[in-house]
Amino acid sequence: RVGGDAQIKAMKQTASSLRIDLAQFRELAAFMQFSSELDASTKKQLSRGERLTEILKQHQYSPIDVYKQVLILKAGISGRLDKYPTAKLLTYQSELFDYLDTEAQSFMQELRSSSGFSKELEEKTEKVFDDFEEIFHPDSVETGIDSGYTINLAMALGQRNKTINRDMLKLVERITSRELASPTLETEIEQIITGKDVVEKDRFDHLIESCKIIDYDKSRSMETLFKAASKIMDKETEGISHSEILSKLIEREKSSSTALTPFFAIPHIVIEGKDKFEILIVRSKKGVKFSDSAEKVHSIFFLMGSIDQRHFHLVVLSSLAQIVQHPSFETEWISSKGVEDLRTLILKTRKKKPE
């Protein structure tokens, strides 16, 4: 990015407040490390700042046309990106740029030849965004429960356990998205956390009691683990092949790592169909390396379900969040003697009160 004096007028019009907005976001994010309560305005500001930071990322030696920069910044600053998960914003940007090159060439020519945004050009810009967003549909398979917004669940967890750590907040943010939101979301979460959702609670217990658990003594690569998990989950669910599952898991991992703490990972995908939800649990005593820069992961929960199971997704996610944050979980996970001990540990830890 360049200084204000060297910017074109359209950029100055669009991004005049960006530096201040980002500074306020960083200050607020730093302050919120010491607070567990967020009001609606703060949530919105953090969500907007997170998205602006994401779209400002630019690969080295991959310059972006300045007018395309103007438009993606305009989308972010205006709030158009608020409805999309953060992990999908680079996809939004890439597809928007392709759309501008192929379907909006006359608009781009007019923008380049203009001295800035007039009222008429502003209206045309909004129409370009509207037309693009009608055909831009983030793949629900990869974003239905991916990273992005919903601090509501984190706050609900925090109300039950005030010592919840930042890793857990990141975990909940990353595995919950706007696509799971609804007018009844807060009520649903409250029922989950307070234990009033008895039916789904029993369903979670049954899911754990009947699911397959794999126990590896030797270290595995992430790719080897994903291949093995795909073949196992393929046998449990009709209508999707192991190669499709593997492809979706890998694509999901590319968007952002599902290794959410140094100990715990939750690779997850949403699949087509109805009434589908599976979980595969893996323990690796020697660990699985999800990236070169992170520690090996020892507890992996693979989730795969159809989008009509959104509420049960919330139940499973909140249950896992409470389980893995228990102080004794990691030690007991490694020391458990076998598959059935691991199963018992999960069910037992779920029923413990937070410390």
Per-residue pLDDT, 29: 59
pLDDT in tens, the chain (355 residues): 445 555 788 888 887 777 777 777 666 655 554 444 566 777 777 777 778 887 887 655 568 899 999 999 999 988 899 888 777 888 889 899 999 999 999 999 999 999 889 999 999 999 999 999 998 876 543 443 333 333 333 333 334 444 444 444 444 444 444 444 444 544 555 566 566 666 677 889 999 999 999 999 888 889 999 999 999 998 878 778 999 999 988 887 776 677 777 788 888 888 888 889 999 999 999 999 887 767 889 999 999 988 788 778 778 877 887 788 788 999 999 999 999 999 999 999 988 755 5
The structure tokens listed for 140 are: 């629900």
Per-residue pLDDT, 164: 40
- Domains of the chain, each with CATH number or no CATH: 4-138 (1.20.150.20), 151-351 (3.40.930.10)
The DSSP letter of residue 103 is T
Q: Do residues 230 and 243 touch, judged by C-beta distance below 8 A? A: yes
Ordered alpha helix ranges (H), 103-184: 105-113, 119-135, 140-143, 151-160, 166-175
Per-residue pLDDT, 319: 81
For 168, the 3-state DSSP assignment is helix
CA distance 229 to 129: 40
Give pTM, 2 decimals: 0.55
For 65, the 3-state DSSP assignment is coil
Beta bridge partners of 269: 304
Residues with Cβ within 8 Å of 211's Cβ and at least 6 positions away in sequence, in order, are: 278, 279, 280, 281
Place of tokens 């992430």: 222
The structure tokens listed for 165 are: 């750590």
Sign of the alpha-carbon torsion through 74, 75, 80, 82? negative
Which of 262, 194, 181, 265 is closest to 225 using CA atoms? 265
CA distance 234 to 66: 46
The DSSP letter of residue 264 is E
The structure tokens listed for 239 are: 């209508």
Per-residue pLDDT, 170: 43
Per-residue pLDDT, 165: 41
Per-residue pLDDT, 336: 96
pLDDT digits (tens, 9 = 90+) for 59-95: 555 688 999 999 999 999 888 998 887 778 888 898 9
Per-residue pLDDT, 140: 40
Q: Are strands 268-271 and 297-306 parallel, antiparallel or unpaired?
A: parallel
Backbone angles phi, psi at 282, to 5 degrees: -130, 130
Residues with Cβ within 8 Å of 48's Cβ and at least 6 positions away in sequence, in order, are: 21, 25, 76, 79, 82
CA distance 215 to 129: 49
Per-residue pLDDT, 312: 85
